[in-house]
Amino acid sequence: MSFSGVNGTGQRRPTMKEVAARAGVALKTVSRVVNEEPNVSPELTAKVQAAIKDLNYTPNESARMLRRGKTGTIAVVIRDIGDPFFASLGRAVELWARSSGSVVMIGLTDEDPEREKDVCLEFVARRPDALIMAPIGETQEYLAPHVDAGMAVVTIDRPAHGIEADAVLADNAGGIDQAIDHLVRQGHRRIAYLGDDERIFTARERVVAYRAAMARHRIDVDEDLVHLSEPTTEGIGITLSAVLDRSEPATALLSANNMTTAEVLRGLAGRRDRVALVSFDDLALGDLLSPGLTAVAQSADVMARTAIQLMTERLPEPHRPGRTVRVPVKLTIRGSGEIPPA
């Protein structure tokens, strides 16, 4: 660990005062050169830069940032680093920060609203320039004083409530439309929908889109084929029995998120049913399955880049109205969604 005034080799760091003495200029002149301020002659700038090189002087970046009203820190609060989507999101933000000279703090909420609040407040106490978060709680009003003070907030996957923030959301309705249209083209009409709790924003948008898409194709929704619950191995096993072990079983399954899809695949592995499957969210090894997984893919990289763009636009205008950007999704056809009705 390096302490103030000591570099990583145990040697004392040179000070700005020593740079001024070596260059034969005033301390204020060194400060202006280091902070890239105007009104310093080329001759004096050259002297200071030569002294900096001779002494191997490194400016205190934290102090520079604070003087400019910035900390060079971005806070990222996501639900689960084990989820491939959020792992990709965290990596994309980290790569941007690395290229821009910023530092990233990443915290996990584990789908717990109280944990979300605790992590966010712990991070904002460190005065980050911006917070990128995947909200869990019903409101993020606890961040209002910090937003009012100029901190930029961008949410991803779900919108914020109670604060002015930008949001990057997947085109949930468009993705469900693509999935249903594709299954109907394969001849399916008994399409089971397996999704998450409707209280979750994305789950609610997707099941509403499912009902609308079925109505558009003039297919009556059999409510016994609609199951909304937490994706556990036991729960999905019961759901598969409910939709497949009946006199008129589902001929196709639409799984509304990657966690549900993983449990559906586990459940189907022990069965002999020949049933079509389309997933909203791709899986990392979906192309290696047999048949390959047909999936509506949302790009974490594109969503992260969009969030970063909104963040950089909001930093100089922290009090502008919030913007919502919908990121397109794409149906990837690999085989599981092309199984015809029995």
The answer to whether the CB of 223 falls within 8 A of the CB of 191 is no
- Write the single-letter amino acid at 25: V
- What is the C-alpha separation between 256 and 197, in angstroms, rounded? 11
255, β-bridge pairs: 194, 279
- What is the C-alpha separation between 277 and 255, in angstroms, rounded? 7
The answer to whether the CB of 48 falls within 8 A of the CB of 55 is no
Residue 24 confidence (pLDDT) above 50: yes
- Per-residue pLDDT, 218: 98
- Per-residue pLDDT, 93: 87
Q: Do domains 16-59 and 172-299 have the same CATH topology?
A: no
What is the percentage of the chain residues whose pLDDT exceeds 90?
62
- 261-287 exposure pattern, b = at least 16 Cβ within 10 A, e = fewer: bbbbbebbeeeeeebbbbbbbbbeebe
DSSP string, 89-157: HHHHHHHHHHHHT-EEEEEE-TT-HHHHHHHHHHHHTT--SEEEE---SS--GGGHHHHHTT-EEEEES
Q: Tokens 């990222």 belong to which residue? A: 76
> Each residue of 316-332: pLDDT tens digit?
888 889 999 999 999 99
Q: What strand order describes the sheet that includes 324-327?
A: 103-108, 73-78, 130-133, 152-156, 166-170, 324-327
Residue 69 confidence (pLDDT) above 50: no
> Each residue of 153-210: pLDDT tens digit?
999 999 999 999 999 999 999 999 999 999 999 999 999 999 998 888 999 999 999 9
φ, ψ for residue 319, nearest 5 deg: -105, 15
Half-sphere exposure of 269 (CA within 13 A, CB side): 9
- Per-residue pLDDT, 32: 84
φ, ψ for residue 140, nearest 5 deg: -115, 30
What is the percentage of the chain residues whose pLDDT exceeds 70?
92
> Each residue of 78-111: pLDDT tens digit?
988 888 788 888 888 888 888 777 889 999 998 8
- Per-residue pLDDT, 59: 67
> Each residue of 109-139: pLDDT tens digit?
988 999 999 999 999 998 888 999 999 999 9
CA distances from 158 to 125, 132, 276, 295 (A): 24, 11, 29, 21
- Domain 68-164: what homologous superfamily? Response regulator (3.40.50.2300)
User: Cβ neighbours of residue 14 under 8 Å, at least 6 residues apart?
Assistant: 55, 56, 57
Beta 73-78 vs 324-327: how paired, if at all? unpaired
- Per-residue pLDDT, 12: 62
Residue 2 confidence (pLDDT) above 50: no
What's the average model confidence in pLDDT over 259-265? 94
Going 206 to 208 to 213 to 214, the CA torsion angle's sign is positive
Model confidence at 65, pLDDT cuts 50, 70, 90, reads very low
- Write the single-letter amino acid at 320: R
Percent helix, percent strand, percent coil in the chain, to nearest 5: 45, 15, 40
Residue 3 confidence (pLDDT) above 90: no
Task: Kindly state the tokens that stand for 41.
Answer: 């002659």
- Per-residue pLDDT, 11: 53
Model confidence at 9, pLDDT cuts 50, 70, 90, reads very low
pTM: 0.77
Nearest CA to 271 out of 248, 232, 239 is that of 239
- Per-residue pLDDT, 60: 54
Q: Verify cis geometry, omega within 30 degrees of 0, for the bond prior to 291.
A: yes
The answer to whether the CB of 177 falls within 8 A of the CB of 169 is no
Q: Which CATH class is domain 172-299?
A: alpha beta
The answer to whether the CB of 203 falls within 8 A of the CB of 197 is yes
What residue spans define the domains of the chain?
Answer: 16-59, 68-164, 172-299
What's the average model confidence in pLDDT over 139-158? 93
In 196-339 the beta strands, taken as DSSP E runs, fall at 226-228, 252-255, 276-280, 294-297, 324-327, 330-332
What's the average model confidence in pLDDT over 300-307? 90
Arithmetic mean of pLDDT over the chain: 89
Look at the domain 16-59 and name its fold: 434 Repressor (Amino-terminal Domain) (1.10.260)
- Per-residue pLDDT, 8: 43
> Each residue of 28-50: pLDDT tens digit?
898 888 877 888 898 999 999 99
